[in-house]
Every structure is written in structure tokens, then in C-alpha cells.
Structure 1
């Protein structure tokens, strides 16, 4: 039965959960037990997220191999720069169009908001060195980040077998999180039931504003910011390559909602462009974690929406810290559907937002995830292909070799079968 349940697209299941939860809120407003599904879902995420983040970061750092000969300097710079610029764009959009959420427990933490930058920095430093076990138990994400980095660097001196165990534990925890997300339709039904029951449909309308802000920011980043980066690297018209990558990689990613699943599609697209296989065979999988501009936008917008709801003033220095922290955290976002939502509590903790409130924000993220996560994944995956191609063209031009990006795209577009067959293979799987 579970296998048949999973055969149905997660997007379809979430839509059904939204419809069922809304209908039950109208027909059975006194059946409060339905809301328990939402509490269980958020509670499960709250339980697994701190442990998963700890092992993901620790595994990534311990498995890093330094000193290897490679030619990925340009693509890595583009990945990291794009993620940081995306965070800046999200902060700017949130300032221009602030959105307030419906959080039943908001009043509980409004009085605990930090009052100055000095206080935030003091809390940042003192919380970062808290007991690592207590940090995982209490979901103190700043301390989790600090100790995961420290232990990860120390584990680089350990044996290969030890590092393999850490990597496998990280993979196992990711699978646990994915299993919990499989039951998201039930949790979302409970969450939307509780929201409509307590706030009415007016509260749900706020989600439409949030979705518009997220999607609008992601569209601006991919259609304006990223092309500007491509032009700066190549001094050629960036839009033929931008639109082609969006069509070939972004559309399949929109429906798979997983950067990891979309990797084979990007590899075939790189082949169609005639790129160097020795380069893209590494840079495309690397982009699944290192290039997370869409995730940075989601985390920044959701965090600032929580701050606006709680009455927390975000000054420019605080926003700058948020951008850097979000960019760093987004590079570790899991490649599974909804993975970026699990790092919202880490960014929220910067402003003294209670973990219970942060997980309510995560729950809202899953409610709007039908659109938000699909667009986010499309931005992340398509930009992996965009920046991989741009980096190679940049290095070729720098070495004095002529490159005509428009002609390369036209040639690749004349052979669309590569990417389409890859997309169909992933969907069939």
C-alpha cells in the first residue's frame, strides 16, 4: 500500500492534503484531533532536523579532499557568488514588500527579540560554543554549525573507514527526513485545518502574498542577476544560454522537486552543449549542494517574514549577517524535496526566534511548497547547468580561445533528444 501511495506524485498528494484539510475545517470545525496530524508532522521534522544538519555538515567537511588538481575555480566562485547575491536579493525584496505570517504563538516570543547588533553578536558567539550534545537536543543551530565544522575538520585526520561511517550515517538521516516528508500531505492537511479553524480563510490568503514574494524574487534572480553574472564572465549576450538552461533543466526540475534527481538531466545537457566531461562530471553534482541560490532566497524571505510578524527590527548590519549565514547554510541544504526548509531554524536563531516558532514557519513552508519548492528547485538545478557552461566559456575566452555562446546553444537546441530522454528516464524511475 505504501509503494502505491508513493507512486502518486508528491505534488498531487500535497494538493489533495490541502483540499482535504480545507474541507474538513469547514465541515468539522470541532474535530480538533485532525490538527494533531500537523503537530506530529512538525514534531517529527523538529526532531530529525538538528541531527541531520549536524551530520550533513560534518560529513561534507570530513570528506573534502584538498590538494587535488582541478579546474573548477571559476564555477565554484560563481556558485558561491550566486548564492550570496540571491540572499541579498531576498533581503531587498523583503524590505520592499514585507509579509507577515499567521503564527498562533507569535506573542510568546515578541518580547524576547534582540534590541541591538551588539546583543545579537554577543548571543551569536556565546551560543556557538554551547555543549554540542545539548545543541542537538535543544536545536541550537548556531552551535550545531560550529561544532559540526570543528568535528568535521578533525575527522579529516581519521581513517577512510571512519569517514565512510559518518557519510553513511548522514545518508541514513537524509533518508529518514525524506520518509517523513513522504507523509507531508497528512501533516499539511492538519496544518491547514488548524490555520483555517483559528484564523479563517483570511489567514490563508497571507500565504498567497508569501508565495508571490518568493516566486517573484526567484524570477528576478534567474532572469536578471544570473544573466548579469554570465555577461560579466563572458561579455556576450547571456539570454540564449539562460533561457535554454531554464527550458532543458528548469522545467524537469520543477516537477521532480529534487536537485539530486535532476543531475542526470544536467549531465546530458552538458553533453549536448559539447562541454568538457572531465569538468561537468564533477561540477554538476557539486552544484547540487554548493549552488543553492533558490534555497538562500527561501530561507531569507521566510526568516524575515517571521521577524516582521514578531516585530523584530532588522537593521542593515543584521541583514548582512543573515545573508552570509544563509548563503553558508544554503550550500548544505539537502538535495531532497523541501530540504531547504529544514535550515530555516538556523537562520531564525540569529534573531532570537524560538525553535517552536521557527518550526511553525517551516510548516508554512510545506503548505506553500507545492509552488515554492518547485520553483526553488528549478532555479537551483538550471543554474547548475548555466554556471557550469559559463565557467568553461570564461576559462576558454581567458585562454584566448574564441567562443560563440549563441552558436553553441543553437547547436545544442538542435539536438534536444539528449535532455528530453534524460528527463523521461528520471520520471519513469
Structure 2
């Protein structure tokens, strides 16, 4: 028993990042040595399943508790956060248009993807988004509909603020703390989950995705890295007038890394909440802005939709004019904000964007099929970009307000002690 406790203590004392890297290496090695050990996949399935299961409950109780306490200050900072989320999503789509023009791609069309229910126009996407607001709250929790969860959590929290007894508000706060602790326990087991996820990906896909679709994948990943390492830091610099990279790299390491392996912005919400607390942000703000960012801050999704659509147009020999490209950027940005409410994420919004150029649904679904093939890398990088950006811009809005109030930035950004 003492030996077991000593092992657990040593495990907990080791850096989570180091443990994740060890899990990554072990998963890759096991995939090569014992590719038939299917039971190893269950570690990944259980980890992602646990995160996805607890995340909706966490979002509901944290948002409701924050609003119920009567200390919530959804002031200019909140408006700044929303502006930054929407601005960067549009810029991501516009940059994807530029990189697609500079490095035009064509697609070796795979077999048509299985028939899916996909949105056929921007109106349908917006309709789905609005419908999700008023979805049954229990259904929203069960299905991970974060737009609906946010809507009902806000109403419930505001109602509790007005009519709830003080003891009830304390109970709600304690519930939020308890759920947060459960999330921390799950995150602590991330190395085992990531080992299973890496094992599954290596066994299922091997290196084939890097050969047949290497150039397309390189353009997608390269554009996302440009957004993460150049454009986003530039925007942060404009707002904070300091070196943005300490914040950017910290968010990529502590948020982007786990998001890369879980491939789910929703499942990474608890990680982002913890990171915001470490950054000294106002809980009343980030408890609302982080779940919102997981829905509307979709830089990676906008890049994927734009590049895949233009690759389809190039494959068919269609000429894309500048006005059409600008319209595609707007459509991709707005559509990306609705991606989390559509089964299959950003890939199933490609037919909507393809319809702008008159590309048939059959061809568009073949492009979706290609997207699923390269998704093991593309979707991982996309999610890392999205999730890290959620924290980056929440922090930017908060620190920008600090500067307006004459406060100093945090020490890691060059502020005074």
C-alpha cells in the first residue's frame, strides 16, 4: 500500500506536460510493437468520453453560479472578447483565401463520404444556431449543445440572483467547485488517455495521410500556424503594447497541447478554465467567455472550410474572383461559428461553402471524405488553435481593461511586481 501511495505521489509531483509527452511516446511505440492490442484504444475513449460528459455540466453550473452570486460584471471586457473572437475568425478565413491563392491546391477525390445531413446554405446554419439557443435544456446537456447550455445557464443564474436565497447561492457555488474538482481529477489522468488516442491514430492511419494529401495538409497546417504565431500575437500586441509571445506560448502549451489530442474544444473547456485562473483573470468573466469562445472563436474551422472549398474549386477548374473570395470569407467565418452545433464539426460545413460556387453536393461530400482522411492531423491542429485562442483573447480583453484603469500587466508580460 505504501509503495502504491509513493508511486501516486511521484506521478502527481511530475509535470503534467512531461507526463503527456511520455504518454504520447508510449502510445506511438505500442502502436508499432503491438498493433493488435485493441484494448489500449479504450484509454483514449474513456478519457475523451469523461471530458465530454462532464464539460456540459461544468459549463452550466459555473456560468449559473457566477451570475447568481451577483458579482458578475459583463462590462466592456465582454464586448471586447466577443469582438476579438469574431474578428480573428474572419481574419483566419481571409488569410486562408490568400494562402490558397498563393499555393493553389487540387484534391485527389476519395470515395464519396457516407450520406450525412449537412447544411445547404448560410441561412440554414444561422437557423440551426438560433434554434439551438432555445433547445430543451436537458437535451442541450445530453447532446453537448453549448449555445443552449449557455442560454439556459444565463437565465437560470440571473433568476437565482434575483430570487435565490443566500444559502442556495452558496450551494450553487459549492456545486461548481465540486464539479471543477472532478474535472481536475480527470485531467490528471490525461497521459493515459493521450496514450490511447495516439495508439489509435497511429494504428488506424499510419503515414498514408502524409503522402496522398501531404501538400493540402501542409497548406492547412501552415495557415493555422501562421494564424497562431503571427496574426494572433499581432492583435494581442495592438491591444496590450507588449511582447505577446509569453502569453501565446503559455496558452499553446497549457491549452493547445491537450486540445490537440482530445480534438474537442468543448472537452477542453475545463482546461481553459483552470488556465484562466492561473492567469489571474476575473472568474465572473471567463466563466462565460470561455464557453462562448468554444462556440464562436473558430479560427481553425474557418481556415478548414475556406481552403477545402477553394481546393474543390481548383480541382473542377473554376475561376474564383476576388468578390467571390471575400464573400467566401464572410460565409466561412459565420458558418464556422455554427460548427459546434452541427454533427461532424467544420467538415460538414464545406458543402455549404461549396454551394457558393455551384459545386454539387455529391462532389462536396467527396471533399468532406478527404477531410475525414486528413482529419487526424488537420482537426487536431484546428482544435489546438481554437482552444488556445479562447484563453488568449479572454486574457487580452481583461489585461486591456487593466491598462485603461492604470493597473500593471502581469509580471510574465513585463509588468511590475
Instruction: Report matched runs for 1:294-373 at 5 Å.
Output: 294-334=300-340, 339-373=345-379
Q: Once structures 1 and 2 are overlaid, which stretch shifts more, 338-347 or 211-220?
A: 338-347
Q: What CA distance in whole angstroms lies between the structure 1 residues aligned with 2:388 and 2:415? A: 14
Cα 1:75/1:315, change in 2 over 3 Å: same
- Quote how far apart the aligned CAs of 1:340 are: 1.1
1:165 and 2:171 correspond: no
Q: 1:70 aligns with which of 70, 74, 86?
A: 74
Residue aligning to 1:244 = 250
C-alpha distance in 2, partners of 1:277/1:146?
30
Gaps of 5+ in 1: 11-67, 107-135, 157-162, 176-181, 193-200, 412-429
CA gap of 1:409–1:6, structure 2 versus 1, over 3 A, is farther
- SS of residue paired to 2:333: helix
Q: Distance in 1 between matches of 2:257 and 2:415?
A: 17
Tell me the residue number matched to 1:129.
none
TM-aligned CA deviation for residue 331 of structure 1 = 0.9
Query: 1:144-193 CA distances to partner (integer Å, 9 max, x unpaired)?
Result: 236547x74xx98xxxxxx3438827964979xxxxxx9xx99x98xx9x
- Cα distance in 2, alignment partners of residues 247 and 97 from structure 1: 29
Change (3 A) 1:278 1:317: same
Q: Which residue of 2 aligns with 1:273?
A: 279
Distance 1:409 1:313, change over 3 A: farther
CA-atom RMSD, angstroms? 3.5
C-alpha distance in 1 between matches for 2:124 and 2:333: 16
**1: CA distance, partners of 2:255 / 2:118:** 39
Q: Distance in 1 between matches of 2:337 and 2:382?
A: 14
When the two structures are aligned, how many residues end up with a matched partner?
294
Alpha-carbon shift at residue 4 of structure 1 (Å): 5.7
CA shift, 1:332, in A, is 1.2
CA shift at 1:338, angstroms? 5.2
1:99 aligns with 2:105: yes
The answer on 1:390 being equivalent to 2:361 is no
Q: Once the two structures are superposed, what CA deviation does each residue of 1:402-423 show, in whole Å capped at 9, x if it has no partner? A: 2246258999xxxxxxxxxxxx
Q: Give 4+ residue runs of structure 1 displaced > 6 Å after superposition.
A: 408-411
* Normalised TM-score (structure 2): 0.63
Separation (CA, whole Å) in 2 of partners of 1:91 and 1:173: 31
Return the offset for 1:204: 7.9
Matched, 1:90 2:96: yes
Cα distance in structure 2, aligned partners of 1:173 and 1:271: 24
Residue 339 of structure 1, CA deviation = 1.4
Check 1:338–1:213 CA distance in 2 against 1; reply closer, same or farther (3 A cut).
farther
TM-score w.r.t. structure 1 length? 0.61
